[in-house]
Structure 1
Amino acid sequence: MEAGRHWLDDERLRVYPRIFVAAYLFAVVAYALTLHDGLDFKGQPLGTDFVTFYSASVLVLSGRGASVFDYAVLNATQKAVFPGFTGELFAWFYPPTFLLVIAPLALVPYLAALAGFVATTTAAWLVALRSAVARAGAGWLIAAFPGLWVCAAHGQNGLLTAALAGGSLLLHGRKPVLAGVLLGLLAIKPHLAVLFAVALVAARAWRTLASAAATAVAFLAASLLVFGPGVLGAWLDSLQFARLATENGYLPWAKMPSTFALLRLLGTPVPWAYAVHAVVAIAAAVAVWVVWRRTDALPLRGAVLMAATFLANPYAFDYDLVWLAFPIAWLAVYGLENGWRRGDREVLVAAWLLPALATALASLTRVQVAPLVLAALVWVAVRRVVAGRGLPGWLVGVSAPSAPPARARRRSSPPA
Structure 2
Amino acid sequence: MFAETLEAVQSSPSKRAAYVRFVLVALAAIVLFKTFWFARWGGWTDRELADFDAFHIVALHVWRGDLDQVYHFEALLKMQMEAAGGATGFMPWTYPPQYDLLVAPFAFLPVGVGYLLFTTATLALYLVTLRAIAGRNFAQVLVILFPALAITIGCGQNGFLTGALIGLVCLNVERRQWLAGFALGAMVIKPHLAIAAGLYLLMTRRWIALGTAATVVLVSSLLCTLLFGWQIWTAWLGAIRESASFLEQGFYPLFRMISAYAALYKAGLPASIAFWGQAAVAGAALLAVLLGPVRNASSKFALGVTVMVSVMISPYAYDYDLPMLGIGLALILPELAKLASQRERSAIYGLVLLAGAYGLLQSGRLAVQFGQKADPDQHFAPAIGGFALMALLVLLLRLLLRGMQPSPALPRTAQATE
In the alignment, the residues of structure 2 paired with residue 412 and residue 88 of structure 1 have an alpha-carbon distance, to the nearest angstrom, of: 44
The question of 1:87 aligning with 2:110 is answered no
Shift of 1:257: 0.5
* Partner in structure 2 of residue 368 of structure 1: 383
Where in structure 2 are there 5+ consecutive unaligned residues? 364-375
Shift of 1:318: 1.2
Q: Which has the higher contact order (CA 8 A, sep 6+)?
A: 2
Distance 1:62 1:27, change over 3 A: closer
Deviation larger for 33-42 or 132-141 = 33-42
Shift of 1:358: 4.4
In the alignment, the residues of structure 2 paired with residue 76 and residue 353 of structure 1 have an alpha-carbon distance, to the nearest angstrom, of: 36
* Partner in structure 1 of residue 154 of structure 2: 153
Distance 1:259 1:45, change over 3 A: same
Match of 1:76 among 71, 74, 78: 78
Distance 1:95 1:39, change over 3 A: farther
In the alignment, the residues of structure 2 paired with residue 130 and residue 9 of structure 1 have an alpha-carbon distance, to the nearest angstrom, of: 17
Shift of 1:95: 0.9
In the alignment, the residues of structure 1 paired with residue 238 and residue 380 of structure 2 have an alpha-carbon distance, to the nearest angstrom, of: 34
Superposition TM-score, scaled by structure 1 size: 0.83
Deviation larger for 176-185 or 368-377 = 368-377
In the alignment, the residues of structure 2 paired with residue 379 and residue 174 of structure 1 have an alpha-carbon distance, to the nearest angstrom, of: 32
The question of 1:10 aligning with 2:13 is answered no
Q: Deviations over 1:86-126 (max 9, x none)?
A: 33452211111111101111111111111111111111111
* Partner in structure 2 of residue 411 of structure 1: 409
The question of 1:328 aligning with 2:329 is answered yes
* Partner in structure 2 of residue 275 of structure 1: 276
Match of 1:44 among 38, 43, 47: 47
In the alignment, the residues of structure 1 paired with residue 19 and residue 104 of structure 2 have an alpha-carbon distance, to the nearest angstrom, of: 40
Distance 1:365 1:359, change over 3 A: farther
User: What amino acid is aligned across from residue 4 of structure 2 in structure 1?
Assistant: H
SS in 2 for 1:92: coil
In the alignment, the residues of structure 2 paired with residue 94 and residue 24 of structure 1 have an alpha-carbon distance, to the nearest angstrom, of: 27
In the alignment, the residues of structure 1 paired with residue 137 and residue 10 of structure 2 have an alpha-carbon distance, to the nearest angstrom, of: 16
Shift of 1:303: 2.0
Superposition TM-score, scaled by structure 2 size: 0.83
In the alignment, the residues of structure 1 paired with residue 294 and residue 6 of structure 2 have an alpha-carbon distance, to the nearest angstrom, of: 32
Match of 1:386 among 387, 396, 401: 401
User: What amino acid is aligned across from residue 309 of structure 2 in structure 1?
Assistant: A
Distance 1:185 1:43, change over 3 A: same
Distance 1:34 1:210, change over 3 A: closer
The question of 1:141 aligning with 2:132 is answered no
Name whichever structure is richer in helix by fraction. 2
CA contact (8 A) 1:38 1:82 kept: no
CA contact (8 A) 2:298 2:408 kept: yes
User: What amino acid is aligned across from residue 142 of structure 2 in structure 1?
Assistant: L
SS in 1 for 2:127: helix
**How many aligned positions are there?**
394
Distance 1:240 1:359, change over 3 A: farther
In the alignment, the residues of structure 2 paired with residue 41 and residue 274 of structure 1 have an alpha-carbon distance, to the nearest angstrom, of: 39
Shift of 1:272: 1.2
